[in-house]
Amino acid sequence: MTDYLEFYRGRPVMITGGLGFIGSNLARRLVELQAKVLIVDGLIPGYGGNLFNVRDVEPALRVNVADIRQQSTMNYLVQGHHVIFNLAGQVSHIESMQDPRTDLDINCRAQLFLLEACRHNNPGAKVVYAGTRQIYGRPSGLPVSEAHLVRPTDVNGVNKAAGEYYHLVYNDVFHLRATSLRLTNVFGPRQLVRHSRQGFIGWFIRLAIEDREILVYGDGTQVRDLVYVDDAVDAFLRAGASDACNGMALNVGGAEPIAHRDLVELLLSVAGTGSYRFVDWPSDKKAIDIGSFYADSSLIAATLGWRPRTSLREGLLRTVGYYREHLPHYVDAEAGGTASP
Amino acid sequence: MTDYLEFYRGRPVMITGGLGFIGSNLARRLVELQAKVLIVDGLIPGYGGNLFNVRDVEPALRVNVADIRQQSTMNYLVQGHHVIFNLAGQVSHIESMQDPRTDLDINCRAQLFLLEACRHNNPGAKVVYAGTRQIYGRPSGLPVSEAHLVRPTDVNGVNKAAGEYYHLVYNDVFHLRATSLRLTNVFGPRQLVRHSRQGFIGWFIRLAIEDREILVYGDGTQVRDLVYVDDAVDAFLRAGASDACNGMALNVGGAEPIAHRDLVELLLSVAGTGSYRFVDWPSDKKAIDIGSFYADSSLIAATLGWRPRTSLREGLLRTVGYYREHLPHYVDAEAGGTASP
């Protein structure tokens, strides 16, 4: 079933946060599928946007630097796109607790205004929102399906939940078509690895290939499910091309739940470099941690035929290979990061 | 068990939205209990704030006119209060869809900033938030307990959900003590009856005592549970005085679920005036309607000993009596309303 891939040929699509990790991988895939791609990205220092992510495909797409908080700009940019992949966001949980105002402005307020922009200037668009499993908070049971209560544990989680709800409300009330993908831990090439504030996996991969020591919090028995970025991209493509998922929030989780320590051992064996040791939880991270998590992704399988296809080992192999080749572009000043921790 | 009433004697408490319907009834009760009451209210035209609501008790409390969106003002005002009853909000669902920005600023952004103000300037405070059953959206089954998924059907519902989640996050992470009360349809004296944009019940009561015709949408079989305002006030008092409910969201529902048409017939029999007829649903209201709803309030009963004590008939009798005596103060220009629909 490749109809959903054919769907994008010649089609104008927009990607907010398109210079970031998932957004840039999605943009590259859409270029392969011959879509007309407009990337909108604010290139905010310390966030995931990195021009290197699309440099080699740049003639085949357009990059428009703009901040999604700038309402008048977004009112203009949304026009004419058949699908809007809405991935722009502040993604650091820790930063959301230190600077809740910025997190609210980007993850909540700007999302609402983007939907208003579509409602008034592009009501026929399909919007696919990058949601997160973080909104579930501490799971009451595993695996976690979409029937699990939403109970965010930090400000970022609250704002991401609100951002998702706005999309579903605009789908139901204003007949804008919208879908939210609740992503678990996505990993792969083009992820920010400059600092550790946007999730652990990219940071661990960097430490491994630099032959440094990985610190595993607690006893490392916490379970996560990881999704390789190509699989996440495939979920966005399927959602963008289908009306079967309009108004739905769908889990996008990994096939192989794994404890942190087992993941680190697998990573080190794939990389052949690096080491690890266990340390106590830092108090600020412990306060917003959610324990073990893995998702039940049967709803998206039934609705869109999506399932993860890349094994964890294969994904780690490709990711390690990518950063071995391109690491300077992700740790130097141009990489959009601030100071390394 | 009246310990929770004794708790308030001599105690400094603040009520945001304290000139509004529930806030003013709460303020009056707290004055009876000899608390030191500060009312903070923005008196925004068209909202529920009305100075008449507290005029006769004004020497016994303080009124500070301020908008909760003004962060520096709130940073100052929160200081020193043992309990903050946080009832300020934009409450019209229809207006939230016409002007989502204002709804977000009041119900989402200002809530976050109020919590930031407490975190930095009054971390020992207990905050009781006026949540709403609206966040559940269309019920998947009845009665609706707190285990029901949150799925708002309009922008107001999204922002009220986010406002509640912020409170729970600040309870869990920053050890500010906070509780959300998910109120169903509250009715009683001092409710805005100037227009119909803030819920049907106040408007119906006004029409009845003015001997006008009530329009019931559809066939009137939709069920609601109504809470008399004195009972809602009692829930706030219990939550504010207890640490058993910290970090919890609790339903506050009525004891006698009733269909719209039966409610209207009861109201007309109590009032002795007015009439009604059935009309088709207006499209804008139908789009965000949730069908029948009534809450399971067993969690707050178990946690705080609260249950509704006022019968629907008794509540309607008192309410009709109140407005028969004071109606001009709720329909004239000073009442804070804009034009009547």
What is the tens place of the pLDDT at every residue in A279-308?
999 887 787 778 899 999 999 999 999 999
Q: Count the helices and strands in chain A (H runs, E runs).
A: 14, 13
pLDDT of res. A92: 84
Note whether A169 contacts B150, CB cutoff 8 Å.
no
Residue B203's Cα: distance from chain center in Å? 15
pLDDT of res. A149: 97
User: Which token pair is A200?
Assistant: 């652990």
Region A58-68: what's the mean pLDDT?
Answer: 96
pLDDT of res. B92: 84
Q: Which of A195-204, A225-234, A289-298, B319-328 has the lowest mean pLDDT?
A: A195-204
pLDDT of res. B339: 33
Separation in Å, CA of B159 to nearest CA in chain A = 7
Region B265-282: what's the mean pLDDT?
Answer: 96
Q: Which of A255-269, B26-40, B191-205 has the lowest mean pLDDT?
A: B191-205
Instruction: Name the strand (E) or helix (H) holding A284.
Output: helix A283-287
Q: Are A329 and A50 in contact (CB under 8 A)?
A: yes
A17: nearest Cα among A171, A184, A129? A129
Note whether B158 contacts A172, CB cutoff 8 Å.
no
E-strand ranges in A157-272 read: 177-183, 185-187, 213-217, 223-224, 226-228, 249-252, 258-259
Note whether B173 contacts A161, CB cutoff 8 Å.
no
- B156-183, pLDDT tens digit by residue? 999 999 999 999 999 999 989 999 999 9
Per cent of chain A over pLDDT 90 is: 87
Give the model's confidence band at A198: pLDDT under 50 very low, under 70 low, under 90 confident, else very high. confident
B233: nearest Cα among B319, B302, B313, B130? B130
pLDDT at A339 over 50: no
Note whether A152 contacts B172, CB cutoff 8 Å.
no
Instruction: Report d(CA B123, CA A250) in Å as an integer.
Output: 38
Residue A31's Cα: distance from chain center in Å? 19
User: Which token pair is A85?
Assistant: 């992949």
pLDDT at A334 over 60: no
Note whether A101 contacts B113, CB cutoff 8 Å.
yes
3-class SS at A100? helix
Region A138-167: what's the mean pLDDT?
Answer: 96
Give the model's confidence band at B338: pLDDT under 50 very low, under 70 low, under 90 confident, else very high. very low
- A229-283, pLDDT tens digit by residue? 999 999 999 999 999 999 999 999 999 999 999 999 999 999 999 999 999 998 8
**Which of B108, B169, B172 is closest, CB to CB, to A108?**
B108
A→B interface, C-beta within 8 Å? 97, 100-101, 104, 108-109, 112-113, 116, 147, 149-155, 157-159, 161-162, 165-166, 168-169, 172-173, 287-288
Per cent of chain A over pLDDT 70 is: 97
B243: nearest Cα among B127, B147, B115? B127
**A229-241 vs A21-32: helix axis angle to the nearest 10?**
60
Region B303-320: what's the mean pLDDT?
Answer: 97
**Which of B108, B154, B173 is closest, CB to CB, to A154?**
B173
CATH architecture designation of domain A3-335: 3-Layer(aba) Sandwich (3.40)
Note whether B166 contacts A173, CB cutoff 8 Å.
no
Note whether B169 contacts A162, CB cutoff 8 Å.
no
Instruction: Report d(CA B177, CA B239) in Å as an integer.
Output: 11
pLDDT at B341 over 60: no
- How does the average pLDDT of chain B come out, rounded? 94
**Which of A113, A151, A161 is closest, CB to CB, to B162?**
A161
B280 secondary structure, DSSP code: P
pLDDT at B68 over 80: yes
3-class SS at A86? strand
Residues in A touching B158 (Cβ below 8 Å) = 162, 165-166, 169
pLDDT of res. B287: 75
Which has more confidence, A175 or A287?
A175
Region A87-93: what's the mean pLDDT?
Answer: 91
Note whether A154 contacts B162, CB cutoff 8 Å.
no
Give the model's confidence band at A338: pLDDT under 50 very low, under 70 low, under 90 confident, else very high. very low
Give the model's confidence band at A332: pLDDT under 50 very low, under 70 low, under 90 confident, else very high. confident
Peptide bond into B143 cis (omega under 30): yes
pLDDT of res. A1: 54
Residues in B touching A154 (Cβ below 8 Å) = 169, 173
Note whether B153 contacts A161, CB cutoff 8 Å.
no
- B205-241, pLDDT tens digit by residue? 999 999 999 999 999 999 999 999 999 999 999 999 9
Instruction: Report d(CA A243, CA B160) in Å as an integer.
Output: 29
Note whether B147 contacts A147, CB cutoff 8 Å.
no
Per-range mean pLDDT, top range of A47-51, A219-223, B93-97, B231-235: B231-235
Separation in Å, CA of A333 to nearest CA in chain B = 33
pLDDT of res. B290: 83
- How does the average pLDDT of chain A come out, rounded? 94
Q: What is the ipTM of this complex?
A: 0.91
Give the model's confidence band at A109: pLDDT under 50 very low, under 70 low, under 90 confident, else very high. very high
pLDDT of res. A91: 87
* CATH superfamily ID and name for B3-193+228-253+295-310+331-335: NAD(P)-binding Rossmann-like Domain (3.40.50.720)
Q: Are A25 and A47 in contact (CB under 8 A)?
A: no
| Surface-to-core class of residue A130, CB atoms within 10 Å of its CB (0-12 exposed, 13-18 middle, 19+ buried) | buried
- Closest-approach residue (CA) in chain A for B165: A158
